[in-house]
Amino acid sequence: MSDAFKLPEDCTTMAEVRIGVDTTDRELMELLDRRFGYMRAAARIKTDRDVVRDEARKAEVVENACADAQRRDLPVDGIGQIWNELVETSIAYELVEWDRIRA
């Protein structure tokens, strides 16, 4: 069945690859939704807006992603850029949520 989700190693057509990519993108969105839920929780828990940005924690998260990418033989520099942007977007979101909660 060509329109069913298949793992990459089982794909034999570009249609199957595209279905796999689209399915994976939806799964990633679910995970991002959960991750941003943690940002809402952090905004609720942190009592000081000045501690929302934590450069040491940001560096740790990006380094962890890069190390995981290396173990998986994925492009470390690209993953590092993606995670840097993810963390920056998360910080911005958390600041907005922090302000919203206390408005």
Tens of pLDDT, residue by residue over 59-93, are: 999 999 999 999 999 999 999 999 999 999 999 99
**How many Å separate Cα 91 from the centre of its chain?**
12
Average pLDDT over residues 52-60: 97
Looking at residue 2, what is its pLDDT?
45
* Whether the predicted model's global pTM rises above the 0.85 cut: yes
Q: Of 55, 28, 42, give the one whose Cα is nearest residue 96.
A: 42
C-alpha dihedral (79, 11, 5, 68), degrees to nearest 10:
-20
CATH class of 8-102: mainly alpha
Question: Which pLDDT score is estimated for 3?
Answer: 61
- Round the average pLDDT of the chain to a whole number and report it: 96
